[in-house]
Structure 1
């Protein structure tokens, strides 16, 4: 088994995946908040 050396692994794919996930969560949260506000304005 090879010796593990910290900091040598290429994590660019994981970073890109996390960045995409965070964009998705942020945009979804904003859309839900806008929808809730619109529902509060127009339904009541």
Structure 2
């Protein structure tokens, strides 16, 4: 087996992907909340 040293793996791509996912999730949640507020104001 190859020697493995804990903490030596490069995780920059995984971190970029995760940060992009979180940012997209926040945008989708904000858009959904804004749509619900807009629908509540227009329909009342």
TM-score, with length taken from structure 2: 0.92
Deviation per residue, 1:1-44 (Å, 9 max, x gap) = 11221110000000000000000000000000000000000012
Q: Distance in 2 between matches of 1:10 and 1:36?
A: 41
CA–CA separation in structure 2 for the residues paired with 1:35 and 1:14:
31
Gaps of 5+ in 2: none
Question: Which residue does the alignment assign to 1:9?
Answer: 9
Aligned residues: 44
Runs of 4+ in structure 1 off by over 6 angstroms are: none
